[in-house]
Structure 1
């Protein structure tokens, strides 16, 4: 089959397929720490990573035949990945809405940025931190504010018993602790 009849992936297709989407009609909330991490990554890509790869590609291109030059081919591929990430980070930082959770320090109601401890019907104690779409890491007990658990917990108070809908059925959970970081 001729290459002319195969569909090539575009950068926009890759961005949409891999990266989390902000729900339509909502804002892209992010904590100051999350914003700083994304901004730092963006600046590192622009100022450090991309220039290194450009130098390698330039060197590899000067060696002659590019069709079988691994440094050149890998470098060009890596440049596309870096440029795609730069575009993504730039777009996300432009629409990010900074929300400082420390303004709620001492409050017992759950808002964005809260560290919430709850107990389920089985007596299992779980702690989650409610963060933005671009900064949450489930391996560290962080959930996005649009996740089912966060939507259930938002606006609840210590002592509230809530109904959490899961794929395995509905569970009752009780909020036993809410904590916010201290302000500077």
Structure 2
């Protein structure tokens, strides 16, 4: 068959390049109010600003004639597919998001979603993480998704508790040193 009649994938599946992990089956998409606002702002920026700008560029490039060798047209169409895919992804994630304000647990010593936790492992190495939603966790900022193994091990524990964390190298014991939450906004 001629290559002219084969359909190349336009990447129109619902996953982004470098996509976030899927939600656990039957799980909720917990997210902080700040994370929800950030995703919503990204969605609105794509819909209101970036997509119309790219559509205008593609329209201009198409009016120039031969589309097969028109870089602006080809790149613009590709970028539109990427934007549309991201819009679909964000829309779906925001529809199923369950906004949880971690400040409701301010003052608590028990670990819930949104907690910032200091813990020491069985080798005495101390770490500090914040348990966040899947769509907002950033490991560079020591933010860990609530479905990560370390988060699952720590959830519901209290200051002073030791919890077991299963790792590929074996079971590690973690001791909870400190738990904090953001202060409620006034």
TM-score calculated relative to the size of structure 1 = 0.94
CA contact (8 A) 2:15 2:89 kept: no
With 46-55 and 100-109 compared, the bigger mean Cα shift is at 46-55
Instruction: Select the structure that is richer in helix.
Output: 1
Q: Deviations over 1:3-58 (max 9, x none)?
A: 34566355226459834211111111110000000000000001111111111111
Task: For 2:7 and 2:40, locate their aligned partners in 1 and report how far apart those are by CA, in whole Å.
Answer: 37
Task: For 1:13 and 1:89, locate their aligned partners in 2 and report how far apart those are by CA, in whole Å.
Answer: 10
With 137-146 and 35-44 compared, the bigger mean Cα shift is at 137-146
Pair 64,6 (structure 1): closer, same or farther in 2 beyond 3 Å: closer
Unaligned runs of 5+ in 1: none
Residue in 1 that maps onto 2:163: 162
With 109-118 and 119-128 compared, the bigger mean Cα shift is at 119-128
Residue in 2 that maps onto 1:2: 2
Q: CA RMSD in A?
A: 1.7
Residue in 2 that maps onto 1:86: 87
Pair 36,75 (structure 1): closer, same or farther in 2 beyond 3 Å: same
Task: For 2:148 and 2:22, locate their aligned partners in 1 and report how far apart those are by CA, in whole Å.
Answer: 12
Pair 14,100 (structure 1): closer, same or farther in 2 beyond 3 Å: closer
Q: Deviations over 1:43-102 (max 9, x none)?
A: 000111111111111111111100000000000000000000001101110110010000
Mapping 1:47-58, distance limit 5 Å: 47-58=48-59
Task: For 1:157 and 1:5, locate their aligned partners in 2 and report how far apart those are by CA, in whole Å.
Answer: 58
How many angstroms does 1:181 deviate by? 0.3
With 102-111 and 119-128 compared, the bigger mean Cα shift is at 119-128
Pair 111,120 (structure 1): closer, same or farther in 2 beyond 3 Å: same
CA contact (8 A) 2:122 2:173 kept: yes
Mapping 1:71-150, distance limit 5 Å: 71-150=72-151
Task: For 1:124 and 1:17, locate their aligned partners in 2 and report how far apart those are by CA, in whole Å.
Answer: 30
Unaligned runs of 5+ in 2: none
- Aligned positions, number: 184
